[in-house]
Each structure stands twice: as structure tokens, then as C-alpha cells.
């Protein structure tokens, strides 16, 4: 099994920070985009049609008033038995009719686009479902795993390697026979030589006649 080859814990720490930032940014972006689209849909389906309908009612009233003004003007007879000009009244009536027709077309287009927008909004929600799943599950899991890895590696690095000099010194003390003071490194070999020489002399004496 090969050992861990970690060059820098700072890289893992930066990766964790980047994952957290990505999770927060994506979550905020999806939430804000969804909220903006839903508010626009409410305006397109509710507020705008009501505003246009109210405007159309007023413009239709203006048409009625313009027709009434034109009708009264046409009934007027001057002192010279000539009818006054009704050019301005007719132009005012045409403008009122045109404004109402424009509003009517906008209202119809608004209803059409409201239906199309709801269809597109459903497609958007379906498209961001996977991304929302990553924000809610995958990215938090990645952050947690990276954090656990970082903690584990920091604990691993905190375990110091054994002090070889201390190990050798302890081994040397354990090797000294009981009753013999530990001294220089040359004492043990000299003691061993003395012991070996004594054993050699005893063997020579036993071999003599």
C-alpha cells in the first residue's frame, strides 16, 4: 500500500472554501432567479392585464365622450345657417378609437404571452432541478468530505516521527547488564573482551596435563 503524498494542506483548505462559496452562490442565484421569474409571471398574468383592462375601460369612455361631443357639434347651426367645422372633433374621436384599439391588442398579446411564459417557467424549473439537487446534497457532501479529509490529514501530520537518537539511547541502556554502570560506548566491548579472555585461559588450563 503506497503512502499518502500530500504536498500542501492549504490546497485542500482552499478547495473547501471554494466549494462552500460555489454552494452559496448557486443557491442564491437559483433562488433569486426563480423568485424574479415568479414575480414577473404574477405581474404578467395579474397586474398587467388588470392595468390594461382598466385603461381600456377609460379609453372606451373617452370614445363615448368624443362621439357625444361630435354629435352635439353636428347639431349646432350658426347664425348664417351654416354648420360649424367638426374636423377637430372627428380627429379626437379617431385618436380615442386608436388608443383603445392599441390597448385591446396589448391586452390580447399579454394573455397570449402569459400562457407561453408559464410554459417556459416550467421548463426552467425542470432544468434547474438537477442543479438544485447539487446545491442541496452534492456540494454539502463534498464540503463535508473535504473537511473530514483535511482533519484526518492534519492529525496524521501532527503525529511526529520517532526520535532515532532517543531510540538508540534507550536501546543502549537496555543492553547494559545489571550492576554495570553505563558509561562510554567503549566499556561494553572491553568488558566483552575481558570475559572472552578469561574463558580462553580456563580452557587452556583444563587442556594442560
pLDDT at 50 > cutoff 80: yes
Q: Which of 35-39, 61-65, 128-132 has the lowest mean pLDDT?
A: 128-132
Per-residue pLDDT of 83-111, as tens digits, reads 778 889 899 999 999 999 999 999 999 99
Per-residue pLDDT of 132-148, as tens digits, reads 888 888 888 888 888 88
CA separation (Å) from 42 to 46, 66, 120, 130?
A: 6, 35, 14, 25
In sequence order, the 6+-apart residues with CB closer than 8 A to the CB of 52 are 103, 106, 107, 110
Is 90 in contact with 70 (CB distance < 8 Å)? Answer: yes
| Residue 80: φ, ψ to 5° | -95, 20
What's the pLDDT score for residue 204? 47
pTM: 0.56
pLDDT at 173 > cutoff 70: no
Nearest to 28 by CA among 132, 124, 108: 132
Angle of helix 9-42 relative to helix 87-133, nearest 10 degrees? 150
**Cα gap 43→56, rounded to integer Å:** 18
CA within 13 Å, CB half, 59: 17
Percentage of the chain surpassing pLDDT 90? 35
Amino acid at each position: 500500500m503506497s503512502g499518502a503524498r500530500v504536498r500542501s494542506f492549504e490546497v485542500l483548505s482552499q478547495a473547501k472554501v471554494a466549494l462552500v462559496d460555489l454552494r452559496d452562490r448557486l443557491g442564491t442565484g437559483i433562488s433569486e432567479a426563480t423568485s424574479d421569474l415568479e414575480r414577473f409571471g404574477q405581474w404578467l398574468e395579474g397586474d398587467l392585464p388588470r392595468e390594461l383592462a382598466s385603461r381600456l375601460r377609460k379609453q372606451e369612455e373617452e370614445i363615448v365622450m368624443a362621439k357625444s361631443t361630435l354629435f352635439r357639434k353636428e347639431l349646432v347651426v350658426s347664425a348664417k345657417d351654416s354648420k360649424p367645422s367638426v374636423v377637430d372633433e372627428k380627429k379626437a374621436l379617431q385618436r380615442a378609437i386608436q388608443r383603445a384599439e392599441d390597448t385591446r391588442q396589448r391586452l390580447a398579446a399579454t394573455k397570449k404571452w402569459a400562457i407561453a411564459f408559464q410554459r417556459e417557467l416550467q421548463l426552467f424549473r425542470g432544468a434547474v432541478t438537477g442543479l438544485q439537487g447539487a446545491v442541496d446534497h452534492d456540494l454539502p457532501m463534498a464540503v463535508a468530505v473535504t473537511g473530514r479529509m483535511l482533519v484526518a490529514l492534519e492529525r496524521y501530520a501532527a503525529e511526529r516521527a520517532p526520535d532515532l537518537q532517543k531510540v538508540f539511547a534507550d536501546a543502549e541502556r537496555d543492553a547494559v547488564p545489571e550492576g554495570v554502570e553505563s558509561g562510554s560506548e567503549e566499556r561494553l566491548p572491553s568488558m566483552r573482551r575481558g570475559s572472552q579472555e578469561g574463558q580462553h585461559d580456563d580452557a587452556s588450563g583444563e587442556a594442560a596435563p
